[in-house]
Chains A and B, each alone.
Chain A
Amino acid sequence: MIDLASRPIVLPGELLASNPKVAGSGTYIENGRVYAKFLGLLDKTDTSVRVIPLKGRYIPSVGDVVIGVVREVTGNGWVVDINSPYQGFLPVTENPEMKPSKKPNDVLDIDDIIIAKVMNIDPKMKVTLTMKDRMCRAVRFGRIIGINPARVPRVIGKKGSMIKLFKTKLGVQIVVGKNGLIWVSGDRRKVNIVEESIYIIESEAHTDGLTDRITEFVKRRKGELNGK
């Protein structure tokens, strides 16, 4: 069920409002008027006007949970590819697995995958990561699914509803990186269902009633598994 009327597509430069106070994300203000900054869906309420992007590269913010791939090992840390125009750097001090007796490449080597958090971004967009958080770890098993970073909020769902759905109905472990990479671990067939659901969410992110449809889809597939 689509309600494009409630979320119309807007193009860069479209005038959204004449009151600068309602300007939300995805907009810019010039001469007291609010315009769309990029191609996206317009989310207009009485108090705020924002544009939800349909596409775009992942730009890191402090506090984001990301999944990265180690590209280089240096004496004082690891250079991590976080699927962004900007590389991340994980200092040795921020990796709890690192002990003074070990060498950096024994703890994390090239092409290793980690779940990390963005700790700091300096004005020149140098991104520093940390693994000192409950969610963070080196990923040694499971599956990584890559999607368009702009669709990640939809995969998480309102207040984490989508993730909760996967966890409770299918019993899988799942961590969604803000940079478009998602780690899923569990029974292989259940992980397959999660993967298919994620691709459906990615392609239908801008439609309504998605949570219900995915719930239906998961229920159906789970039933097929048990029915065999």
Chain B
Amino acid sequence: MKTVGKEEEKRAGITFDPEILNLLKNFGEIELEDVEIELGDLEFWFQPGAVAAPPRVLAPPKVKPTTILEAPFTFPIATYPGQIAEVKLGATKGKGGTRGKSIVIGGEKSPAFYTFENPTPHPPVISFDVFDVKVPLAKAVKMHVKDVLEDPAAWAKLSVDKFGADMITLHLVSIDPLNPTPSTPKEAAKTVENVLQAVDVPLIIGGCGDPKKDLEVFERVTEVAEGERLLISTVTLDMDIERAAKAIKEHGHVALAFTPMDLNQARQLNRRLFEFIPKDQIVMDTTTAALGYGLDYAYTIMERARLAGLMGDPELQQPMSSGTTNAWAAREAWQEMAPEWGPRELRGPIWETVTALTLLLAGVDLFMMMHPAAVKTLKDVIEGLTGKGRGEPKKIANWITSRI
């Protein structure tokens, strides 16, 4: 492997930001020459000893076909008794909020991107993470947002204007009771208002993970942002579900139901929420683990949830969200490694990308992400999977002879 020294890593970092974004955008297409394959009459002859494996004895001898035998392909179409709920995030001015547009997710009638069967009703969307206090970030992420780390409103604006965020996730980490001076529900609500004013995309509001404090904050935030159709992240089984659900319902928001990689718990939480909130106001998150750190579990739980929902399980028919940023918990994403593993400025974002793509194929509708290049790639792929483009045989017909 080529050794990448400090200097090169630095260079790779500079190359990567922001040039690779342009590079990822600007494919030039090389027209492959349409080479005719010469097929002469073939004569087969053996030199004794040249061929090791003896010709296979065919029994019984068959009449070898001389032309292609037609065996048409039948599309293996299935129908499903169930459908995933459609959930609208963000409310526009006419609809009680102040957002520039609403985003609808879900509505699937087939497994993810089985477009031979049904079109993807709404392309999955991506929300950028913004934190309300300084948090430890991987170097590869930090370099893109270093100027706005202490200003969530500016951070949100940068993510929308420069990186094309469909949505913003505002993580209210500062409310954590473990902090020396945790911010109050009132202070947190103020931050939410600031971000609402800075950008006009739909918002996700994240708590700190403490079920009591989160609920206090959510009650305040849902009230001050009345009608905005925020996605409240997250409602958990150990929370006072009734109180949380009522606040969300009363003020016109959406619940993000989080469970730890357990379909029964996912069902249980949805069941509880259904007592208070209609289906079109619930999104579910069954937990995302990083590539190499349990992604297989996360993938399979999501795939099973989606298939079960389509097969008619009413408790698993909610659109799915993924905290894809968890990919950065993998050491391979952020750590410096031996030179043969390349600069972490590339390793980190490809880690987030592969984690996201794997879950995209399991059926995730909403991704919470961090790195601009990972987001750009995911958007391109979603476009490729939902667009009208076709696989042009001509373009790859001669891949064998292409000189790379």
Q: Do A and B come from one complex?
A: no
B-binding residues in A (CB < 8 A): none
